[in-house]
Amino acid sequence: MFGLSQREVQDRFSMRALGRKYRFVPPLFGTLVPRLLQSILPWYLNRKYGIAQWEVRGAEKLRASIDAGHGVLIAPNHSKDSDSVAVGLISIPSGSSLHIMAGWHVLLESRFQAWVIRHSGGFSVSREGADRQAVRTAIDLVARASRPLVIFAEGYVTRTTDQLETLQEGVGLIARKAAARRAKEVGGQVMIHPVIFKYQFNGDLSAAARPMLADLEEHFGLAQNNSPLIKRLERARETYVATLEQKVLDAEQTGSLSNRIPRLIEALLAPLEQEWKRTSSATNIYERVRQLRTAILGHSLKCQSTGSEADQLRRQLDNCTLALHLACGDPTPMADGTTAEHFMEILDALEEDTRGSIRVNRPWRLVIDIGN
């Protein structure tokens, strides 16, 4: 997130949380750090994420809500790791600093990152439990119309721009509670502004994709050829799924990825749900993963797990994240008219899952559209 090292893996789940008791990190309200960040944000987004151009549309709608004295919630989609930094661009044309609800695991990644987030108006939330203090803080900030509050309503990085995943209940709960309190105390209103992040790749797709595909083909032991880029990426994706099937199911499966990937996800999660007695009727993979993470982290804290037991818990957390990654995106074969953005989403996700890193390709253009 913050720092000039390589990009973080998407929906990263910091193992530093294993065995550690959650402690709420409250926001600070100074304006110096937010102003400094605004001045370097465009440079930083280009440097770390390859976002060379950006545009915020609808800032006047947000400004109107602020000028009217309303409590304001901003609810963006969350398709890329850069979203949590790029959301700060909204503050430039709107002329308002922001509060942001950030997962505790993000603050654990480094002291510097925790410092920046907190001094920028951010505060922590535990994704793996009922964090009443975070919810109370969010309600209070919105009810007092302190600053617009940003909550990524999907709850995790979905890795797909064109598909909105299931929204978590927290945004609606916070908005209702804050609206009731605000109406009672000052007679004001609460406005929720949906926000869409849309990324456009303006670079040379062939030049960006060929070295990445070559690395993947080498990783999987595939012969390199001059086939069209889409066919090469589909072959690499099929090979990746087959490799996971051999590891998890002991044999490569047949059929389309649309049928094979759900079976693979079930094979990853069902044994864990049985072990941790977390049988769930939820069809949403993120909710199933969240419940498992809650159980695993709770056990590690209660039992102070070390050694081989801690290693086993880490492997289980890795399987949870793998299942969530498999559930992201569209498994159907790419057509000849596939957009550069969709192609790069699949390629980036595959490289991340196989190599544990995200390569920066440029230039990207980001459009942030603020709704009513």
Look at residue 340 and tell me if it is in a domain.
Answer: yes
Look at residue 7 and tell me if it is in a domain.
Answer: no
Look at residue 9 and tell me if it is in a domain.
Answer: no
Q: CATH number of the domain at 152, please.
A: 3.40.1130.10
**How far does CA 300 lie from the centroid of its chain?**
24
Which pLDDT tens digit goes with each residue over 272-286? 999 999 876 777 899
Look at residue 261 and tell me if it is in a domain.
Answer: yes
Residue 342 CA to residue 358 CA, distance in Å, equals 16
What confidence tier does 323 reach under pLDDT thresholds 50, 70, 90?
Answer: very high
**How far does CA 28 lie from the centroid of its chain?**
23
DSSP conformation class of 335:
P
Residue 220 CA to residue 214 CA, distance in Å, equals 10
User: Residues of 177-210 as b/e, b for ≥16 C-beta within 10 angstroms?
Assistant: bbbebbeeeeebbbbbbbbbbbbebebebeebbe
Look at residue 284 and tell me if it is in a domain.
Answer: yes
* 71-76 sheet: strands from edge to edge: 51-57, 364-370, 190-201, 71-76, 149-150, 99-103, 122-125
> Same domain for 28 and 151?
yes
In the chain, % of residues over pLDDT 90: 72
pLDDT at 14 over 60: no
Conformation bin of residue 187: beta by default, left when phi > 0, alpha when psi is -120 to 50: left
Nearest one of 182, 225, 41, 48 to 116, comparing CA atoms:
41
Look at residue 197 and tell me if it is in a domain.
Answer: yes
Tokens of residue 171, six digits = 């945004």
What confidence tier does 324 reach under pLDDT thresholds 50, 70, 90?
Answer: very high
Which pLDDT tens digit goes with each residue over 201-219? 999 999 999 999 999 999 9
For 240, the domain range is: 205-355
Q: Name the β-bridge partners of 364.
A: 51, 201
Tokens of residue 295, six digits = 């159980």
Once rounded to an integer, what is the mean pLDDT over residues 150-177?
89
pLDDT at 6: 57
pLDDT at 39: 95
Residue 299 CA to residue 320 CA, distance in Å, equals 16
Residue 56 CA to residue 93 CA, distance in Å, equals 7
pLDDT at 130: 79
Domain count, the chain: 2
Cα angle, residue 294 at apex, residues 172 and 142 outer, rounded to 5°: 25
In the chain, % of residues over pLDDT 70: 95
pLDDT at 93 over 90: yes
pLDDT at 335: 86
Once rounded to an integer, what is the mean pLDDT over residues 212-236?
94
pLDDT at 165: 84
Q: Note the pTM of the prediction, 2 decimals.
A: 0.92
pLDDT at 8 over 60: no
> Same domain for 29 and 133?
yes
Which pLDDT tens digit goes with each residue over 345-368? 999 999 999 988 888 999 999 999
pLDDT at 3: 57
Q: Which of 2-6, 40-44, 133-137, 295-299 has the lowest mean pLDDT?
A: 2-6
> Same domain for 182 and 209?
no
Once rounded to an integer, what is the mean pLDDT over residues 316-330?
92
> Same domain for 196 and 109?
yes
Look at residue 264 and tell me if it is in a domain.
Answer: yes
